[in-house]
Structure 1
Amino acid sequence: MQSTALLTFPVFVLAYPSVLQEAEIFKEKGNACYVKKDYSEALSYYTKAIDACPSNSSYYGNRAATLMMLGRFREALEDSQQAVRLDTLFMKGHLREGKCHLSLGNAMAANRCFQKVLELEPTNAQALLERKNAAAVLEYEKMAEFGFEKRDFRKVVYCMDRALDFAVACHRFRILKAECLALLGRYPDAQSVVSDILRMDSTNADALYVRGLCLYYEDCIDKAVQFFIQALRMAPDHKKAHSACRNAKALKAKKEEGNSAFKARDYEAAYKIYTDALTIDPNNIKTNAKVYCNRATAGAKLSKLAQAIEDCCSAIKLDESYIKAYLRRAQCYMDMEQYEEAVRDYDKVYHTENTKEHKQLLKHAQLALKKSKRKDYYKVLGVSKDATEDEIKKAYRKRALMHHPDRHSGSSAEVRKEEEQKFKEVGEAFTVLSDPKKKSRYDCGHELDNSGTGMGDFDANNIFKTFFGGPGNFSFETTSGPGNYYFQFS
């Protein structure tokens, strides 16, 4: 028994120095790889050194430094914390722990670590600098929180970009930035940020929520709901995901209900349902733009043209690229005979989407504008554009007698001049609308003066005499006083 014990003890004593030596060899090899920036190989050697001697704080410190170079800050944080647990005076360990906290966005914890270093060495330059950086991150966080409350999303994005200069691995800051990018309508940028996070952590509920938010704001509501549900599976108490999911379902239901009412020609009901839909989520720009345009369509059917134009303007304000809203507004302008505005909208559409249909709409509006700037002979005679030949003759007879200068011979000079002008216009109108060729050219918007069948110089009295007969066949006589006349045939 005694001899056995004596034989065992020397074996243990001899073995222990070799383990330490092996660990040191692994560390030196790791250091060599680190210098050459072969961090993966360095990590392997430092891990072997720790396995050989898990009580050496410098091994954990070295591996932490390597993990930081690989961007694996959470693992590096664990190694740094283990290093300072083994040696509370290990300043590099405290510095690395603080740097990991700061890189992960925990500025307050980082500040405590840097303060610990300064307690050990008050003039430590790196600790002083990093403490200043941690203070800056805390300030950017406060500014971002205030900006979000005030819905100043651009300010939040700016603050998060500045904070991420120090907190390079902070998912929380990136997600807040992505959420604000989505709220600003910069969906591709927001999706790019959260996609990077989801590649690293597919269960991140906040990233899943923001991915759904982007889809929701791009009017891909069904896909958005799937992401919101997935986020709620990861975090059942996620308030934003729950609210967004509820709004998405409600908005989709209202929009579809309004569309069904419109298809059923119940325009009053559709108008009201679209109005209700617009109250669900003011942040959903694209969907609300479509709802505004839908309400404008229903409003146009109800002859609420002014309101329809306002709704189209609201839709365009939300989404300047929404062609359908420009087309709807242009049609409303046409219906209200606001042709210059209609031409402007159709021109915008045609230059955005150069199609034959849009070109035709633009030409039609331009022709209507051209017509609107000349005399409207149909209005002069008080007839519709599809009036028959007999209706045109009857209208001329009535208006010619109404405005004939002889009938107003007792009026003031100003009234006589005005009635004489109207009498002349009535003659012009009749000359054009009673001639099929001239009427056709007039209806097509052609200029009559240069056509060979134009008005030229004419005498309205000659047209009147031709219509009613030669001299001596008519006269105007008073019946009871100035201004009271009757027309008498001989």
Structure 2
Amino acid sequence: MRIPHTIFALSPLLVFLPSTHAHSDSGALYPPALPPLINRANTLLSLGQFNEAVKTYSEAIEQSPTDYLLYYKRGTSYFSLSRHSSALEDFTKVLSLTSNTFDGAHLMSAKIHARDGHWSEARKALDSHKHADTDKGVQDLRLDVDEGEKSEQQAKKEMQAQLWTACYESATRALRVGAYAVGVREMRSECALRAGDIESAVGDLSRLTHLRGSTTPSEHLTIFRLAYFFLPAPISASQNAALTALKQCLHLDPDSSLCLPAHRQLKALDRGFGKVEGMVGKGDWRGVLDFLLGKDRTGTGSSAFLKIFEDALGKHTASPTPSPSRTTTSTTTRSSPKPLPTSLLPALSPRLTTLLRYLCQSHTQLNLHKRGFPYCERLLSQDRSLLGDGPGEEMDVGDAGKAEYLLGMEEWEEAIRVLEGAWERGRGEDIKQRLQRAQRLLKQSRTKDYYKVLGVSRDADPKTIKKAL
């Protein structure tokens, strides 16, 4: 596929504009202070200091309000800042001052419309170019516009057919041309979400909060829900999409009834995760169980952090989802939180997986295998993509806990089967030792158990054994 460089580059016509800006006012003389101002603006533009260039060109325009080249150069500065509305105003002004004859303004207007996914407007601007049939830049951009529109239409058909992955790929092709096309990005975020690509969906939804002229608390809350409960914990504050979304929401509305409680909840949950991670780091396994399950170890009390997290997860994924065939992202209401797909189950939550790992691991470390077995089973039932299979990772932790439970039930062969699978997968030393122990226990179980034959317990005293004989 041809990469649409023409969308992102400044107009080649800038290269041919005179560096010693000739006055375009029908031969009128410049005010004395204007030439140095124009030279400074041109220098700022060439250095890529676009904000300063905009300010300086604006000062120059105040002194020479009919100079079309000043509007053109300020428009290119706005374009480089992705301030498309302001850039279009300047290029429209250029065309009005030149009786629609300045091709550079036509080409730059077409580029903006293409970036925004306004395919018809882009073609109209290209058709107005005097050399539309021969100019390579115009021809290349026209091909990009055709490809962008075709890909968008294809994505719409695939979305209607619930072909989520195909829809995502087609929308991606359209965005390579129309990177600022709000409707296309909305569609791609929806298809990514339905396809189970949470990271891509969050990325698009976050980008949309910048592309839209305004945002609502519900849009930020949707990003929080997806990022916090269905993405791995961030490794740095700059990558914390959940927290960033809520902060942006509270910046717009400090008293938001949606975002303020969610922000408090996020902070409380983060403190809980920090506390349990500290206990795990110190090997305080009893402390882990007390914190996650409560002092009574039932996991049902109001102070049990596992219950607190699962209640929050359930609350934020409980919204009913409308039929995908009736869903059109451009018309979906923005006043209420976006319904999440019913396919987003707890088994897909990385943070829940982390808590189950800690519970399984703690019970195993404390030889509480029977109590820990349900948590080890739940850990192993989490989505496979969340379970690391290296030494000491989630799969090993779950298999070790499960095997120890089976050994306690004297199911020797099943325990060995579990540990052999873990050994073949990760070759962890802990698994190796547990496997060797299980094999010894199996061998011992196959020798004749004289205590069982005599019908006495293994701790019977000599007198009881002699009597049984």
Map residues 212-223 of structure 1 onto 2, 5 A cutoff: 213-218=226-231
**Structure 2 vs 1, CA of residues 119 and 169 (structure 1 numbering), >3 Å: closer, same or farther?**
closer
Greater per-residue helix proportion = 1
State the match for 1:231 in structure 2: 248
- 2: CA distance between counterparts of 1:160 and 1:25? 47
User: Which of the pair has the greater relative contact order for Cα pairs under 8 Å at 6+ separation?
Assistant: 2
Are residue 81 (structure 1) and residue 92 (structure 2) matched?
yes
Q: What amino acid is the match of 2:28?
A: P
State the match for 2:387 in structure 1: 320
Structure 1: which 5+ residue stretches go unaligned?
A: 1-14, 398-490
- 2: CA distance between counterparts of 1:157 and 1:365? 49
Map residues 187-206 of structure 1 onto 2, 5 A cutoff: none
State the match for 1:343 in structure 2: 419
Instruction: Return the offset for 1:340.
Output: 1.5
Q: Considering only CA atoms, is the larger Rg found in Structure 1 or Structure 2?
A: 1
Are residue 166 (structure 1) and residue 233 (structure 2) matched?
no
The answer to whether the Cα contact below 8 Å between 1:232 and 1:242 also exists between their aligned partners in 2 is: yes
Q: What amino acid is the match of 1:314?
A: S
**Structure 2 vs 1, CA of residues 386 and 264 (structure 1 numbering), >3 Å: closer, same or farther?**
same
Name the stretch that deviates more: 296-305 or 49-58. Answer: 296-305
State the match for 2:19 in structure 1: none
Q: What amino acid is the match of 2:387?
A: E
Total equivalences in the alignment: 370
Structure 2: which 5+ residue stretches go unaligned?
A: 1-25, 274-288, 318-343, 389-393
- 1: CA distance between counterparts of 2:351 and 2:157? 28
Are residue 287 (structure 1) and residue 351 (structure 2) matched?
yes
- 2: CA distance between counterparts of 1:376 and 1:244? 63
What secondary structure does 1:55 align onto?
A: coil
The answer to whether the Cα contact below 8 Å between 1:144 and 1:155 also exists between their aligned partners in 2 is: yes
**Structure 2 vs 1, CA of residues 360 and 53 (structure 1 numbering), >3 Å: closer, same or farther?**
same
Instruction: Return the offset for 1:99.
Output: 0.8
The answer to whether the Cα contact below 8 Å between 2:233 and 2:351 also exists between their aligned partners in 1 is: no
- 2: CA distance between counterparts of 1:212 and 1:32? 46
Are residue 111 (structure 1) and residue 128 (structure 2) matched?
no
**Structure 2 vs 1, CA of residues 83 and 148 (structure 1 numbering), >3 Å: closer, same or farther?**
same
The answer to whether the Cα contact below 8 Å between 1:57 and 1:83 also exists between their aligned partners in 2 is: yes
What secondary structure does 1:17 align onto?
A: coil
What is the TM-score with the length of structure 1 in the denominator?
Answer: 0.52
- 2: CA distance between counterparts of 1:235 and 1:145? 32
The answer to whether the Cα contact below 8 Å between 2:404 and 2:415 also exists between their aligned partners in 1 is: no
**Structure 2 vs 1, CA of residues 263 and 20 (structure 1 numbering), >3 Å: closer, same or farther?**
same
**Structure 2 vs 1, CA of residues 246 and 22 (structure 1 numbering), >3 Å: closer, same or farther?**
closer
Calculate the aligned-residue CA RMSD, in Å: 6.1
Q: What amino acid is the match of 2:111?
A: K
Instruction: Return the offset for 1:349.
Output: 9.3
The answer to whether the Cα contact below 8 Å between 1:297 and 1:308 also exists between their aligned partners in 2 is: no
What secondary structure does 2:382 align onto?
A: helix
Instruction: Quote the sequence identity (%).
Output: 19
Q: Could you list the per-position Cα deviations for residues 69-125 of structure 1 after superposition, in whole angstroms to 9, with x for gaps in the alignment?
A: 57665553342233234456244323312212322xx212x5214224426769546
**Structure 2 vs 1, CA of residues 16 and 274 (structure 1 numbering), >3 Å: closer, same or farther?**
closer
Q: What amino acid is the match of 1:265?
A: R
Q: What amino acid is the match of 1:107?
A: G
- 1: CA distance between counterparts of 2:400 and 2:139? 62
The answer to whether the Cα contact below 8 Å between 2:148 and 2:174 also exists between their aligned partners in 1 is: yes
Map residues 64-463 of structure 1 onto 2, 5 A cutoff: 64-65=75-76, 67-68=78-79, 73=84, 75-87=86-98, 89-90=100-101, 91-103=103-115, 106-108=116-118, 110-118=119-127, 123-124=132-133, 126-127=137-138, 129-141=140-152, 155=166, 158-168=169-179, 180=192, 210=223, 213-218=226-231, 226-234=243-251, 245=262, 262-266=294-298, 279-280=314-315, 281=317, 282=344, 285-290=349-354, 310-315=377-382, 317=384, 319-321=386-388, 322=394, 324-336=397-409, 337=411, 338-344=414-420, 347=423, 351=427, 360-371=433-444, 384-389=457-462, 397=469
Instruction: Return the offset for 1:366.
Output: 4.2
Instruction: Return the offset for 1:320.
Output: 1.0
The answer to whether the Cα contact below 8 Å between 2:220 and 2:245 also exists between their aligned partners in 1 is: no
- 1: CA distance between counterparts of 2:173 and 2:375? 44
Q: Could you list the per-position Cα deviations for residues 401-457 of structure 1 after superposition, in whole angstroms to 9, with x for gaps in the alignment?
A: xxxxxxxxxxxxxxxxxxxxxxxxxxxxxxxxxxxxxxxxxxxxxxxxxxxxxxxxx
State the match for 2:68 in structure 1: 57
The answer to whether the Cα contact below 8 Å between 1:204 and 1:231 also exists between their aligned partners in 2 is: no
State the match for 1:451 in structure 2: none
